[in-house]
């Protein structure tokens, strides 16, 4: 049973450190945070925009306890508010899976949602973050390493309609590097669990107004 094996692996891996981090809600913050962890292996990354300070659940594999403390201290010195959750059973068992939730409707009107898959090799996630267009704000990010050959990331980006051609160029570039992507902007799970509901209007709309999906826009 793969789910059981994954559970045992996660509970037995004492090298994994779960932390909560606060970062500025601005473009480039994800990459800056990741570079403080690299070259250590990041095994989890979970975030959803709220309109306040960005709060992230993430875990990484330190060499030893001293290495872990150096990373946490370094994050603090760089202005990232960091909380060590290694002994917090609520966080490890439940909180890490519940992080995020629904984003405010006013912040999702220009949002698009994508699933990405790429070969799971050292540095793959860093390269993925480095190639993200710097002028597109990341409003959702979820990654969890399961030791498989393929890495899977769920990402939402705030992309103005006038900038969608640039996003399409980025997606084509990723495809040329062996990454695959699927747009999920119209997925019912996205609307039901990741978007703030809005009251019915005269058109019967119950979801925030958004631009059409990129894959349907003819860009």
Q: Tokens standing for 3?
A: 């789910």
Residue 38 is predicted with a pLDDT of: 92
Which pLDDT does position 7 carry in this prediction? 46
**Is the model more confident about 50 or about 168?**
168
24 — pLDDT class (breaks 50, 70, 90): confident
Q: What is the pLDDT of residue 69?
A: 94
Q: Please give the Cα distance from 76 to 32 (Å, whole number).
A: 13
Residue 159 has pLDDT above 70, yes or no: yes
CB atoms within 10 A of CB 2: 8
Average pLDDT score over residue span 62-78 = 93
Q: For residues 48 and 142, give the distance between their C-alpha atoms in angstroms, rounded to a whole number.
A: 9
Distance CA(113)–CA(213), nearest Å, equals: 9
Q: How large is the average pLDDT for residues 148-162?
A: 87
Q: What is the pTM of this model?
A: 0.74
Confidence of residue 29 (pLDDT cuts 50, 70, 90): confident
Under the banding of pLDDT at 50, 70 and 90, the label for residue 19 is: very high
* Half-sphere exposure (Cβ direction) of 62: Cα atoms closer than 13 Å: 18
- Counting Cβ atoms within 10 Å, is residue 72 exposed (0-12), middle (13-18) or buried (19+)? buried
Using 50, 70 and 90 to split pLDDT, how confident is the model at 12?
very low
- Decide if pLDDT at 9 tops 90: no
Pick the range with the lowest mean pLDDT from 37-41, 141-145, 212-216. 212-216
Instruction: Kindly provide the b/e burial profile for residues 144-160, where b requires at least 16 CB atoms within 10 angstroms of the residue's own CB.
Output: bbeeeeebbbbbbbbbe
**193: three-class secondary structure by DSSP:** helix
pLDDT of residue 204 exceeding 60? no
Residue 210: predicted pLDDT: 60
Query: Who wins on pLDDT, 70 or 160?
Result: 70
Q: Report CA-CA distances (Å) from 43 to 38, 69, 102, 192.
A: 11, 17, 23, 27
Give the span between the Cα atoms of 168 and 156, in whole angstroms.
14
Confidence of residue 183 (pLDDT cuts 50, 70, 90): very high
What does the pLDDT read at residue 15? 75
The pLDDT, as a whole number, for residue 148 is 74
Residue predicted with more confidence, 94 or 204: 94
Confidence (pLDDT) at 6? 46
Nearest to 157 by CA among 139, 181, 171, 180: 139
- Percentage of the chain exceeding pLDDT 90: 28
Average pLDDT over residues 40-52: 86
Residues 6 or more apart whose Cβ sits within 8 Å of residue 146: 6
**Residue in 45, 21, 47, 34 with CA at minimum distance from that of residue 126:** 34
């Amino acid at each position: 049973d793969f789910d059981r094996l994954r559970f045992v692996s996660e509970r037995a891996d004492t090298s994994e450190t779960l932390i909560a981090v606060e970062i500025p809600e601005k473009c480039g913050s994800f990459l800056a945070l990741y570079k403080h962890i690299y070259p250590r292996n990041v095994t989890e990354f979970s975030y959803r925009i709220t309109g306040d300070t960005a709060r992230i659940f993430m875990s990484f594999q330190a060499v030893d306890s001293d290495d872990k403390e150096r990373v946490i201290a370094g994050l603090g010195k760089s202005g990232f508010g960091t909380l060590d959750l290694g002994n917090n059973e609520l966080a490890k068992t439940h909180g890490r899976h519940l992080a995020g939730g629904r984003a405010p409707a006013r912040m999702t009107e220009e949002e698009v949602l994508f699933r990405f898959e790429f070969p799971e090799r050292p540095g793959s996630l860093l390269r993925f973050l480095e190639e993200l267009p710097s002028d597109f704000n990341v409003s959702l990010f979820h990654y969890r390493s399961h030791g498989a050959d393929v890495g899977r990331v769920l990402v939402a980006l705030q992309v103005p309609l006038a900038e969608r051609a640039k996003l399409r160029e980025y997606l084509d570039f990723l495809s040329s590097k062996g990454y695959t992507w699927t747009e999920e902007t119209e997925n019912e799970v996205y609307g039901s669990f990741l978007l703030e509901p809005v009251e019915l209007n005269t058109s019967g709309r119950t979801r925030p107004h958004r631009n059409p999906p990129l894959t349907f826009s003819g860009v």
